Amino acid sequence: MATNKTVFFLIGILLIVLGGSMLAPYALQVILKEGGHSFISASFVTMFIGVLFVLANLEKEFKLNLRQTFLFSSLAWFMVAIFGSLPFLLSSQDFSLSEAFFESMSGITTTGATIISDLDSSPKSILLWRAIMQWLGGIGIVVMAITILPLLKVGGMQLFKMEGPDSTEKILPRTIEVAAIIISTYIILTFLCGFFYWIFGMSIFDSVSHSMTTIATGGFSTHNESIGFFKNPNIEIVASIFIILGSIPFISYLKFVQGNKKVFFQDVQIKGLIYLLVISIIIMFLYLLFINYESSFFDKVRISSFNVISILSGTGYVTDDFGLWGKFSLVFFLLLMFIGGCAGSTACGIKIFRLQMLLIFLKNQIKRLISPNSVIITKYNNQKISDNFINSVIIFIFTFLFIFFIIAMLLSISGLDFITSISGAASSISNVGPGLGDIIGPNGNYKDIPEISKWILSFGMLLGRLELFAVLVLFFPSFWRN
């Protein structure tokens, strides 16, 4: 029988891993003589609580039913965000509770929004910890998207269910088996990204930090100017390539390892991502030509390509303040924020496959109007799709937009202006990072927004990262009834 003991046992394991991860920035703290013992203290507290959770919830057999799986999904991310905020709270940087939690939630959800106003002068141990949190969050969401969300049937994610039993009772051994290949792939991509960053001019510290936040499509940088700090086209090309690799469904890497060598050319979602990127880059390039943006032809291609890839994937790296390009760029990038990358990747947003399903639905509706008696079989990636599946996708998109408006309204009530409220809501629920406007735009940060706004945005990040329903279901009394 599955009990909540299994949930807290697993959370204990996660806290032990999180606490162990804090030792890397502590080592850097000691080597660079930055002073203080924030990381070793935070590590001890986190691992101690994790061990207590494990010891207090030992069982002969660990199982998760549907309710416990939902609970674990939300509680795990919340607990990791809480304990991940300890190094910020204990540091000499004078983080408030809301700021520390905001930075931690932004990291673990791979959002990339920050309250740190001067990254260039911040302790390198803090910068490394931000990168590690995004890297861990990237692994977590990929494993969850492939093993947990499909079984929970959240917003059409059941389409990406791996072959095997449908029961959530089998989720633990299944997760371990799949996670081994996923984590190996993730580590290899991170290493390659960091290697090429270093080859093309980054320092070892910058290459390590940026490689972790690139493959996680998180966007935390070690400099105020983000990737634009390096002013190096080769670095931007490397970043673009690995952002796209992080935005591809990791289930495709799994299938490739298992022998399907054509999977990257056959997957409808990957093709949709490439088409959307190409079209969006062309649109933005033509717009920069139209407004006579002061740069060479090659620079226009480079700037439009990098920023489109970064915003669509939810990474949030910037090389230029696109808020100064005119009103069209604001609307266009706001739209890209919503779309996001592929399901089963580290990217965020509504996801490519849901927009493709929406287009298929609209196409079928038009066909039915023309030929009311025709029999229409809906397929996606050579899989037959039921009406219930399409309905779940449409409901997800509607709920996504509805919650976006609720968050924007709450931010407006908290005192933020219209552009900041709208883009902040879109940035949080889409896990993008930078918003629009003078306050939270590409050259700004979230330091000066009201404290209540930081909590609202933190909750929005959690909702967006866990596909909305995995969190919302916990607020229904019927969920807790036996």
pLDDT digits (tens, 9 = 90+) for 97-140: 999 999 999 999 999 889 998 898 999 999 999 999 999 998 88
Torsion angle of the four alpha carbons 350, 326, 310, 112, in this order, in degrees rounded to the nearest 10: -80
Contacts of 285 (CB under 8 A, 6+ apart): 300, 301, 304, 305
Label each residue of 22-46 as H, E or C: CHHHHHHHHHCCCCCCHHHHHHHHH
pLDDT (0 to 100) of residue 341: 86
Q: With beta carbons less than 8 A apart as the criterion, state whether 355 and 339 touch.
A: yes
Q: How confident is the model at residue 157 (pLDDT cuts 50, 70, 90)?
A: low
Give the model confidence (pLDDT) of 384-425 as tens digits: 777 778 888 888 899 999 999 999 999 999 989 898 999 999
Instruction: State pLDDT tens for residues 63-104.
Output: 777 788 888 888 989 999 999 999 999 988 888 999 999 999
pTM across the whole model: 0.89
According to DSSP H, which parts of 267-416 are helical?
A: 268-290, 297-313, 327-339, 352-370, 387-413
Is the pLDDT at 233 greater than 80, yes or no? Answer: yes
In this structure, which amino acid lies at residue 78?
A: F
Q: Give CA separation, 225 vs 231, 440, 449, in Å.
A: 10, 14, 20
Q: At 254, which amino acid appears? A: L
Mean pLDDT of 456-474: 89
